[in-house]
Amino acid sequence: MIQIKNLEKSFGSLKVLRGIDFQASDGEIIVILGPSGMGKSTFLKCINYLERPDKGCITIDGIEVHAECCTEKQICALRSKTSMVFQNYNLFKNKTVLENVLLPMTVVQKLTREEAKQKAFKYLKQVGLMDKVEEYPSRLSGGQQQRVGIARAMAVNPKIMLLDEPTSSLDPELVLGILDLLKQLANEHQRSMIIVTHELNFAKEIADRIVFMDEGRILEEGTAKEIFENPKHLRTKKFLDNLKV
Ligand code: ADP
Ligand code: MG
């Protein structure tokens, strides 16, 4: 269970998040849609304190963190409940595929190398990369690199996975493979996911709920059917119409 109350974040005088209230239940898959520059990435990053919010309270699985008064220990506890898949993969280029997946488990979770290896192999197998474990990221395709990013994010067994446009850096022919993998993972593992994407068909298929973000706020939310067939706000409708052409 994740609950977010009145989250606010500014960069200097630019107000990016203007009071976001949000919640997700265990296993729920939420897709965030919205125009560029409206705070979607900032919102995901604030959830695990990659960016520090100015105001608001985040609770994940009983760990409650108030932006105005929180300790490093609380932030670490919150982070341990989450993992992130980035648009540009964010792999360590000087480390092998296996080391990339092991690192958060050995360094952050303090698992032994053997325990971590077992989990790493489990997820590398699931994403179809067992033949690449000793390879370096530069020798992989974008799709393969993103599979490493997904295996790394799954392996830490997060309460919630945050995915920021996981296919937007990929060549078009690689997009469907990654979207299929994400659908399969969402079905198999009862794990909450918050996914920012512009892939509308994927959103329709995977989302339990769709959230439309605009100007640092959640403008509306609902099932795929509600949002796509009957958006309440003109801005949502315009955004969707533009993506369809
Ligand atoms: P989205 O993901 O919806 O495209 P972002 O959350 O990346 O939007 O950005 C929202 C706004 O915040 C943009 O105007 C962006 O330029 C600004 N912004 C994002 N990160 C930073 C940062 N680290 N420093 C200053 N401005 C930022
Ligand atoms: Mg973004």
* Rounded distance from Cα 44 to ligand 2 centre (Å): 9
Best residue among 11, 84, 194, 215 to mutate for probing ligand 1, ranked by most atoms within 8 Å of CB: 11
Structure confidence at residue 245 (pLDDT): 61
Give pLDDT, residue 190: 82
pLDDT value, residue 207: 96
**Burial 21-60, CB ≥16 within 10 A → b, else e:** ebebeeebbbbbbbbeebbbbbbbbbbbbebebeebbbbb
Mutate to test the pocket of ligand 1, among 40, 42, 86 (most ligand atoms within 8 A of CB): 42
CA nearest ligand 1 atom 13, residue: 37
Region 91-106 average pLDDT: 97
Q: Cα(153) to centroid of ligand 1, in Å? A: 23
Helices (H), 156-233: 172-188, 200-206, 224-229
Least confident of 19-33, 46-60, 85-99, 169-183: 169-183
**Mean pLDDT along residues 179-183:** 91
Percent of the chain residues topping a pLDDT of 90: 92
- State which ligand 1 atom lies nearest to the alpha carbon of 44: 6
Distance 187 CA to ligand 2 centre (A): 25
pLDDT of 186 reads 87
16 lines ligand 1 (CB under 6 A): yes
Ligand 1 contact via 47 beta carbon (within 6 Å): no
Q: List C-alpha distances in Å: 189 to 18, 26, 65, 115, 219.
A: 33, 11, 26, 20, 29
Q: How far out from the chain centre does Cα 64 lie?
A: 20
Question: What is the pLDDT, as a whole number, of residue 201?
Answer: 92
Burial of 18 (0-12, 13-18, 19+ CB in 10 A): middle
- The pLDDT value given to residue 204: 94
Q: How far is the CA of 111 from the centre of ligand 2 (A)?
A: 32
Q: Give CA–CA dist 212/198, Å, rounded.
A: 11
Q: What is this structure's pTM?
A: 0.95
Within 13 Å and on the Cβ side, how many CA atoms surround 196?
A: 22
Across 118-141, average pLDDT: 96
Q: How many residues does this entry show for the chain?
A: 245
Atom 27 (ligand 1) nearest CA: 11
Distance 177 CA to ligand 1 centre (A): 29
- Closest residue by Cα to atom 24, ligand 1, is 11
Question: Which of residues 244 and 70 earns the better pLDDT score?
Answer: 70
**pLDDT of residue 134 exceeding 70:** yes
Over range 170-190, report the average pLDDT: 89
With a pLDDT cut of 70, the percent of the chain lying above it is 100
Please check the confidence at residue 188 and state whether its pLDDT lies above 90.
no
Average pLDDT taken over every residue of the chain: 95
> Closest ligand to 33 CA?
1
pLDDT digit string, tens, across residues 6-42: 999 999 999 999 999 999 999 999 999 999 999 999 9
Nearest protein Cα to ligand 1, atom 22: 11
